[in-house]
Amino acid sequence: MREEDAPAPPVRVELPDGSTATAQILAHIRLGPKGPWWCWLRLDVWSRAPVGDGTTAEPHSVLFEAPAAKITPIQGVDYSSVPRRTAPAPQRRKPAPARPPGDVEELKWWRFISRPGVHGGTLHRGDCRTSTGGALLSLREARLILDEPGVVPCPQCRPQDRVLQKPPDGTT
């Protein structure tokens, strides 16, 4: 079982709009040896799934990070099993253009950020404000890595919605 699929203790997380939700905490991650703490979280939400001639609602897990200051432990819950890790300090980078110019197939415009100590990672568009560092990928490489277990598309920039959609013939 992948770490992000295993049962994890619940916490309350403050969302950007000020509302709160109950999520499961997968890990505490410190950005660099003296950097801030962030939490790797899983939140179950509803998703449409095709059934016969219609659709149905089924649960879908969304993986995301939040600053530790936005997390509130739930009284009586044991958090001793939640791993604590230090990730390399994020590096500042020049923002990417809003969309890839030129030959989209060859341009390394997609960004893959692995999660320390966990198989998989997050795939971002080149202009995503939430991505720092990571490996730059071509469109073909991005499509291939998105099919790997444990790799999730960024919920902010949603790379799967546009250019990353596979051609109708199924080629990569």
Query: Domain boundaries in the chain?
Result: 1-80, 90-172
What does the pLDDT profile of the chain (172 residues) look like in tens digits?
445 556 899 999 999 999 999 999 999 988 888 888 999 899 988 888 788 888 888 888 888 889 999 999 999 999 999 998 887 666 665 555 555 555 555 566 778 777 765 667 888 887 787 777 777 788 778 888 787 878 888 888 887 776 555 555 555 4
For CA atoms 25, 115, 66, 152, give the dihedral sign: negative
Give the span between the Cα atoms of 119 and 132, in whole angstroms: 19
- 26 contacts 8 by C-beta, under 8 angstroms: yes
User: What is residue 1's predicted lDDT score, i.e. its pLDDT?
Assistant: 42
